[in-house]
Amino acid sequence: MALYLIDLPFAKIGLDTAKRDSDAKVVLVQDGVYADTSGLSDVYAVKEDVEKRGVASRLGGAKIIDYNELVDLIVENKVVNFA
């Protein structure tokens, strides 16, 4: 299982690569929460980043997680950095 850490500057290529990985989990961090994740199912977004930007309603089915939950995801999965 791989966890794709996605920020906005590399979002397009990062998400497109994640789509080629059937086990991909995606975490949107920082400006990454502005990215369009349509076509991906297992998506997470960092709470603090979502709240600052006021984009909760734009996130579709993404699960909002705090830093503690992000640490758990990092420990449980190989990390792929696009942030």
Partner 1 sequence: MANINFLLTEGPFQTEKWSTVSKLAAAALDKGHEVTMFCYLDGIYNGLSTQEFADWDKVPGDYFKELVDKGAEIVCCGICVNARGQQKGKYFFEGIKVGGIPDWAAFVGRADRVITL
Partner 2 sequence: MEKNILFMFLRAPFGAIYYTEGMRAVVGMMSGMDEHKVTCAYAGDGAFYCLKGSDKSESAGYVKTIADISETHYYVEKESLDERGISEGDLDETYKVITRDDLARLIAENDVVYDF
**Residues near partner 2 (CB under 8 A):** 2, 7-10, 12-13, 16-17, 20-21, 30-31, 34, 49, 51-58, 78-83
Which of 28, 61 has the CB closer to partner 1? 28
Strands (E) across 1-83 are located at 2-6, 24-28, 43-46, 63-65, 78-82
d(CA 17, CA 37): 12
Which of 30, 69 has the CB closer to partner 2? 30
Question: Of the candidates 19, 42, 48, 64, which one interacts with partner 1 according to CB under 8 A?
Answer: 48
Are 3 and 25 in contact by the 8 Å Cβ rule? The answer is yes
